[in-house]
Structure 1
């Protein structure tokens, strides 16, 4: 198994658990204030990362001021910003709408990778991104009957899109770091900074005066242990093996996961257009994996054969 393919597996698993945050946030938003839930998420996850670092003997890296600033920006945007905006948006809108909006993450992340990181993706990769985008649009096109009785909110949808922008920055700012940080150490730093940035706003929410549901607390525990601990490790391990624009494409799996979990957990009905969208997303990722491995090997072999043919031709001309 090549490093690139292994990176694809890590990224796919990471985005599947990211999709589950839609359902978890729906439950959290109805029973906890947003910053309180965010701080509780990191308060649970941070000791887990510290324990993993102690068990594995992983040291914290020495970083310069620029890298620390980038890490604070990552934590503020992706850790705190994404969580609070998603929970606030899910309190106002439906899981189906959120799944569609999360589907814009590949396009947003790819744009950041190209503009901010100055990457030049191949035409095949751009085509795969477009195919993933087509899948997202197919999920967005639903029959009126499928929307009957659903909860919709322009403000809620806007908050979720803002969360997606934050997540796109979170995903790709890691590529700007000068010092290479191992996934476990980076996840620990992100969680600790997220806790530090969210705990003060959480105090101002005065959660001790707010009714709290047990379902919301358990949803936060899940959010902390699965998308946060497992998701961070999987994403950073995968992102270290591929380019930023390739990693951005895998974010298309998040809406697929969100739709499936909306059916299983929330009892929503999947339409034929949503199934078509899921197929397009999976086809885009499968095509990207082929182009990144099989096509690359084919091109290398073709180049080698061409070089050998030219060498034989030159030798023949010399004999003449």
Structure 2
């Protein structure tokens, strides 16, 4: 197997784990308080990431006060904000609808860059935004189909926006932080941020379902840790544009897993939505945009 084909395989598997977070979050939503689940996710992932840092010899560079502040905000938005909003949204809407909305992340990230960084939009991006919007509207106009919910879909979109802010804030860091070190920091800071509100949820006073506990462990170890390793192993073997194309696998896998694992029906509105989102992501990547989603601590 050639190095390039290996890269494709790693990237596809990485995006498959990203799609599977929707299924895990759906299971968590039915059996664990939101902040408790988020804190547990990072409590499990953090020591594993620390061991990986030690095993690979990755060190944390000296950080300025500015960068430390950026990292705290990133953890609050991209780590805790994304996870809690995703779980909360999936308590109200279907995993299939959530998969469509999450697929808009590359487009949303690029749009945020235009709005906040005053970057000049390229025609390909404007087309991608229009297509992604059409995809989301296709499920928004039929919110009750297949267990969907307008409020739930709105929460999922807020989660996507939080992850978009994470990507934007990454551009504001003045120090070059190794990806593994940054993911470890996000898990550690994310735990501290999430554990405070988790205490007020009185998690030990509630019955925790086995399915939800297993889903949290899966989320912590597979998408957060294994997904990170797969993404960067794949990205090291292919070009940036090729890697960006594989972000389209995430929403497709989320919708398909919702059907296969959760037994959710997939209606014409989800099919139309995923088609529009795929066209937007693939078109954006093919045009050479660098606003693609990456596996990071925010995930």
TM-score range, shorter chain: 0.7 to 0.9
Whether the 8 Å CA contact 1:117–1:175 is kept in 2: the answer is no
Q: Deviations over 1:178-205 (max 9, x none)?
A: 1111111111111111111111222222
Give the root-mean-square deviation of aligned CA atoms. Answer: 3.4
Residue pairs, 1:75-86, within 5 angstroms: 75-86=75-86
Please say which of residues 88-97 and 183-192 is displaced more in the overlay.
Answer: 88-97
Separation of aligned partners in 1, 2:165 and 2:229: 17
Residue pairs, 1:1-320, within 5 angstroms: 14-138=14-138, 147=145, 150-233=146-229, 253-292=249-288
Separation of aligned partners in 1, 2:102 and 2:270: 14
Separation of aligned partners in 2, 1:68 and 1:197: 14
Separation of aligned partners in 1, 2:43 and 2:13: 24
Whether the 8 Å CA contact 1:132–1:252 is kept in 2: the answer is no
Structure 1 counterpart SS, 2:265: coil
Whether the 8 Å CA contact 1:183–1:233 is kept in 2: the answer is no
Structure 1 counterpart SS, 2:147: coil
**Which protein is richer in helix relative to its size?**
1
Whether the 8 Å CA contact 1:46–1:192 is kept in 2: the answer is yes
Whether the 8 Å CA contact 1:140–1:274 is kept in 2: the answer is no
Compared CA separation, residues 107 and 288, structure 1 to 2 (3 A): closer
How many angstroms does 1:274 deviate by?
3.4
Number of residue-to-residue matches in the alignment: 282
Query: What corresponds to 1:296 in structure 2?
Result: none
Structure 2 counterpart SS, 1:116: helix
Compared CA separation, residues 151 and 137, structure 1 to 2 (3 A): closer
TM-score by length of 1: 0.75
Separation of aligned partners in 2, 1:13 and 1:130: 28
Separation of aligned partners in 2, 1:173 and 1:14: 23
Whether the 8 Å CA contact 1:97–1:157 is kept in 2: the answer is yes
How many angstroms does 1:234 deviate by?
5.7
Structure 2 counterpart SS, 1:199: helix
Compared CA separation, residues 135 and 63, structure 1 to 2 (3 A): same
Q: Deviations over 1:201-258 (max 9, x none)?
A: 222222111101111110001110122123445667859x859xx96x8766543222
Whether the 8 Å CA contact 2:85–2:159 is kept in 1: the answer is yes
TM-score by length of 2: 0.79
Separation of aligned partners in 2, 1:113 and 1:94: 29
Structure 2 counterpart SS, 1:225: helix
Separation of aligned partners in 2, 1:135 and 1:175: 28
Please say which of residues 195-204 and 250-259 is displaced more in the overlay.
Answer: 250-259
Show structure 2 runs of 5+ residues with no match: 290-299
